[in-house]
Amino acid sequence: MEELIVDRRGEDERSLIKTSSDVQARDREHDSSTSTRQTRSVQRGSPCFVYTLAFFSALGGFLFGYDTGVVSGAMLLLKREMNLSSLWQELLVSITVGAAAVSSLAGGYLNGLYGRRVCILLASFIFSAGGIILSVAHNKEVLLCGRLTVGLGIGIASMTVTVYIAEVSPSELRGQLVTINTLFITGGQFVASVVDGAFSYLPHDGWRYMLGLSVVPAALQFLGFLFLPESPRWLLQKGDTQNARLVLSRIRCGDNVDEEYESIRRSIEEEKIDAGEGPVLWRILTFAPARRALIVGCGLQMFQQLAGINTVMYYSATILQMSGVQDDQMAIWLASATAFTNFLFTLLGVWLVEKVGRRKLTLGSILGTAVSLMVLAAGFLLSAQASPPVTFHPNDPSLHNSTCITYGFCESCMLNPDCGFCYGKNGTAVVESSCIPVDTANTEAAAVGRCSNGTQESAGVFWAYNYCPTSYSWIVLLGLVLYLAFFAPGMGPMPWTVNSEIYPLWARSTGNACSAGFNWICNVLVSLTFLHVAQYLTYYGAFFLYSGLALLGFVFVVGCLPETKGLRLEEIESVFGRQLCSCGAGGTPSVQYIRVNGGNYGSDEDLTDDE
């Protein structure tokens, strides 16, 4: 196969014909240089300092996970203590994610201008301020302000931390170190669930500790980063060559960094030539390789959220209740077990990413996720089909105007957030069941009748809110465990990891800002629409829908995600030289950008783009 790439920018215009044998030779060269680099890194021992940098940066991921995870437990206490309406509850939960979406976009600009270190310092400062505001809040308006503040911190951290880790890591460790950030996110979610469990025994002011504890890791990160260096790549881009070399050599524990330094310097020089004019986003959109990278980056982030991770995590408590866990405290602790499973399987991802590579890991993960969602949906479907009928109509006058009494089955009753299912048991059979309005101040009990004190096992009375008693709960539980086992090692971390490495330096902050913003926007959309989707399509319909979306994501990954394992950040740009839907075809592309006289010859004019 021959491909023609025309040099239009050099002094003397010439054609560069690259045959597949050239490419194969280059691939061999590349493979051997990658393995030489790996051997070199093994010889020089563990790059100790890089682990310290990754740890302090990933505290940003921990705060991201903690602040998004802790709110569900805090809300249980807050809504009683501050008498919050459901509108205020929704506001307090979603303002953080909304603020994160906005600030991750703004973070791109700040990153380019002030550097990664300043942005991480800024994010940890904002996190600390937010944590303090939340822990001393005396009314809901101040709480809202605190939640907004932490959201601003999360957004900046989510797009900066991965970029910083990718830029300071040696290529053979990069995937693993960036993935550690997602490990810290899921670790933060797990710790948040434990803190929620522990302080739920403290009905008065327990939420202050839950929300305020985040100040500790935030302050630790701030202090740490006062002493940690800026990314050498950003320093070089800003022309601070002396510091860039110094930092690079410090990060590589005093090794000879000439080759790496030269390669970064050369690529920055080349980028200056082809980066073009105008705002960065415009330049990304008009330069084919950067545009393709952006589509792949945003697509991955979108499919991560459309696969429903946050609704599955959120609904884990319900799923567990369906499996027969009646006790509320128990449900809280079992939700911690779910978060822990998510964390544990992310650890598997850290181990696998440099072994099997990003592409295979993502492919296996998204396919498994789609299948697990089908199992989940099938469990919900069977439960719905075997849904117990309403057999008992209490004669309470206050029920006459309620819509709850119009439902004939538990399934339709529980899909209305205003109603719950009150029933008795005869062995395993459901008897004397009715659909009753829920107590708006406490969903663990009915507003009237025998369930107004919630479940009373000794009296043989059971209250089910949000779920129906079923004997198929084991299928749902199996689906949940399978889901986490498949999602967490791949689809959880890979969108963040891949985004941190696919953009050329000039487009890196903006590319990551856009894709992180996209992640947050999809996160809000999926969480806000879940209840409505479930009402229209029922639970099984919603999970079949997510499964279909995950399958679409699989097709996208097959076609568009190239392997970036082992490549230097400076080498990755060339991977996006091919048409978008053939990016995933092989490890290293058969058509590559050829740099001549410092120019990067590949653009919209040279290659047609079918995206």
Point out which residues bind ligand INS (CB under 6 A): 182, 185-186, 189, 304, 309-310, 342, 492-493, 496, 519, 523
- Which residue's CB is nearer to ligand INS, number 170 or number 493? 493
Please state the closest distance from residue 343 (CB atom) to ligand INS, in A.
Answer: 9
Instruction: Report phi then psi at 29, rounded to 5.
Output: -60, -45
Please state the closest distance from residue 317 (CB atom) to ligand INS, in A.
Answer: 15
Please state the closest distance from residue 563 (CB atom) to ligand INS, in A.
Answer: 20
User: In angstroms, rounded to a whole number, what is the distance separating the alpha carbons of residues 347 and 356?
Assistant: 14
- Which residue's CB is nearer to ligand INS, number 318 or number 383? 318
Contact 439, 446 (CB under 8 A): yes
Q: Which amino acid would we find at residue 402?
A: S
- Which residue's CB is nearer to ligand INS, number 149 or number 189? 189
In the block, tokens 């449900």 appear at: 331
Contact 446, 452 (CB under 8 A): yes
* Cα distances (angstroms) measured from residue 134 to each of 56, 95, 478: 23, 14, 37
Give the pair of three-digit tokens for residue 203.
Answer: 């009905």
Contact 460, 425 (CB under 8 A): yes
Q: HEC profile for 15-50?
A: EEEEEHHHHHHHHHHHHHHHHHHHHHHHHCCCCHHH
Please state the closest distance from residue 358 (CB atom) to ligand INS, in A.
Answer: 14
Please state the closest distance from residue 445 (CB atom) to ligand INS, in A.
Answer: 30
- Which residue's CB is nearer to ligand INS, number 222 or number 487? 487
- Which residue's CB is nearer to ligand INS, number 496 or number 506? 496
Q: In what order do the strands lie in the sheet with 429-437?
A: 429-437, 419-426, 462-464
Give the pair of three-digit tokens for residue 150.
Answer: 């932490």
Q: Which amino acid would we find at residue 383?
A: S
User: Strand 594-596 vs strand 419-426: parallel, antiparallel, or unpaired?
Assistant: unpaired
Please state the closest distance from residue 154 (CB atom) to ligand INS, in A.
Answer: 11
Contact 193, 336 (CB under 8 A): yes
Please state the closest distance from residue 82 (CB atom) to ligand INS, in A.
Answer: 26
How many Cα atoms are found within 13 Å in the side-chain-facing hemisphere of 118?
A: 11
- Which residue's CB is nearer to ligand INS, number 132 or number 521? 521
Give the pair of three-digit tokens for residue 261.
Answer: 């330094």
Q: How many CB atoms lie within 10 A of CB 212?
A: 19
- Which residue's CB is nearer to ligand INS, number 350 or number 464? 350
- Which residue's CB is nearer to ligand INS, number 70 or number 468? 70
- Which residue's CB is nearer to ligand INS, number 519 or number 538? 519
CA of residue 86 relative to chain centroid, distance: 26
Measured between its terminal Cα atoms, the distance across the chain in Å is 22
Residues 6+ apart with CB under 8 A from 260: 248, 252, 568
Please state the closest distance from residue 481 (CB atom) to ligand INS, in A.
Answer: 15
DSSP 322: H
User: In angstroms, rounded to a whole number, what is the distance separating the alpha carbons of residues 27 and 587?
Assistant: 9
- Which residue's CB is nearer to ligand INS, number 130 or number 492? 492
User: In angstroms, rounded to a whole number, what is the distance separating the alpha carbons of residues 570 and 580?
Assistant: 19
Please state the closest distance from residue 503 (CB atom) to ligand INS, in A.
Answer: 19
Please state the closest distance from residue 334 (CB atom) to ligand INS, in A.
Answer: 17
Which residue lies nearest ligand INS, judged by its C-beta?
492
- Which residue's CB is nearer to ligand INS, number 34 or number 158? 158
- Which residue's CB is nearer to ligand INS, number 304 or number 318? 304
Please state the closest distance from residue 117 (CB atom) to ligand INS, in A.
Answer: 23
Contact 117, 228 (CB under 8 A): yes
User: In angstroms, rounded to a whole number, what is the distance separating the alpha carbons of residues 413 and 390?
Assistant: 9
Please state the closest distance from residue 532 (CB atom) to ligand INS, in A.
Answer: 20
